[in-house]
Structure 1
Amino acid sequence: MTDVTPALAREAWRLAEPLHAMIYFAPEVRERFAALGVPAGTDYFASRGAALGPVGPAPVVATFYNFNPALVARALPAAWEIVTPAAALAARLDAAGAALTRGLGDAVGSPEMAEAAELARRAAESAGAYAAGRALFAAHADLDWPQAPHLVLWHAQTLLREFRGDGHLAALLVAGVSGLQSIILHAASGKANAGFLRSSRGWSTEQWADEAAALRERGLLTGDELSDQGRALRDGLEADTDRLAAPAYQVLGADGAARLAELARPLSRTLVKAGFLAPAMPPRR
């Protein structure tokens, strides 16, 4: 079995990611949480944070990393007076199933879906051997697996996303980059809108400006753009993230990881073309 390179692991994750990430945009999520009485905005922290249990804001601030603590504190622990973590997880899974069925139609029951789900599950389950230091991944990995193949694929990609994300946070910590600084650098790369990132994460213009100034002092920004040093830092962070994520895919071998990417590509493309990742509501990463 040929080893999975960090680049191939990244490709397998990237091409499957829309199958998970649509959950941050799908109206089915808001509908289900509204029916439970959970306010808009709070539903994000309740749904993704529910795997941690009925926690207050601190564990979510720590593991989500780039949100203003004041924003999180408005949602938690108040959400748990309205809905239990178990009910929040059930609502999220139900919304995922409904959204994927709406977006993919008959493909949710296809042989390709079943094969992709089996490959992704193998990768996600194998990642458990590398769970040390990955709190958000470990919390989600402790949940029961769904039965339907399209939900198995969604849950597996959820685990692989959180596994990768936890590794990314480790790289940011080593580099001395705070949560707010990380999204400022992301915006400066030209890959995201600064105003959108700032508002969706709950930061004020003053807080953003102060941290941008700190990054300029470090030589990482020139004006509002990345300096050469900043680009090198971001490239290094991405390389470290890819390297830390790769162990999850080794169980598949290079052929299996490539096959997962091949199977996920048309499914993800269908969702993207149908607007399932359009920011009708702020995406959270």
Structure 2
Amino acid sequence: MSNRLRRRREELSAFLRSRRARISPGEVGLPSGGGRRRTPGLRREEVAALAGVSLGWYTWLEQGRDITVTASVLDAIGSALRLSAAEHAHLYRLAGHVPPERTPSHQDSVPDSLASVLRGWDPHPAYVLDRHWRFVAGNTALSTVFGSITPGLSCLEVFDDDSPLRQVLPAWERMAPDLVSEFRVDVARYPDDPEFRHILRRLRANSALFERLWGKQEVRVSARSTKEIDNGVVGQLTFDSVTVRTDEHPQMRVVLLSPRHGTPTASRLAALSVRH
């Protein structure tokens, strides 16, 4: 066994023991047995029973033995130990598995924590997209730069011939390859999401450019990009764009725009803000 694998199994052992020790029998509907328990929290046999696995097998797992563990068993153990979403993902990684994608709940409004980020980013534009790349909300500066944006508008609608986004994004064709390659990543990330399949079918059928770029099979993920915006009042604005995702709200991404240094964007944005 390599040193790296040994360290990971040692961490797995310590993690399982610590999670077991924090749960009292009463929390999971088990009798305490009376008197003082020598083991803090749950015993190994109690965790094994709750998870539906043998005591011997669970003992080997907690001891860091070189055994094979399936995702379904990890889910059962995570449930027995009442792991949070973050702890559950950590358990997967320690056991050598890729954590499953959390299924997001439908949400039409921005959580308070993300809304606070949008407000705090003023006077620079910021907005939130949902998992399907649709606009959910933006701050005051975004409205100043783009005008009114209808909730539900998708970034991918730039591939539609009559898209209003083309009027404010003069460099949209230069952005197109990155959009398609990043969209491919999300399509693969959510293979069972029917909405992604619907979006993909529509784009391939209606846009020759999208179909050509899709056929290149390129995959790219970048948190940074450049956005050039044609504002009807002050002219071209150039922003450095950073995309932020959070574990707390994985179904949403926050896009933060900052005026690019060496361009007149900052002064033009200030002049535009005064007009509003």
TM-score range relative to shorter protein:
under 0.3
Provide TM-score, normalisation by structure 2.
0.25
Higher share in helix: 1
Bigger radius of gyration:
2
Bigger relative contact order, structure 1 or 2 (CA pairs below 8 A, ≥6 apart): 1
Higher share in strand: 2
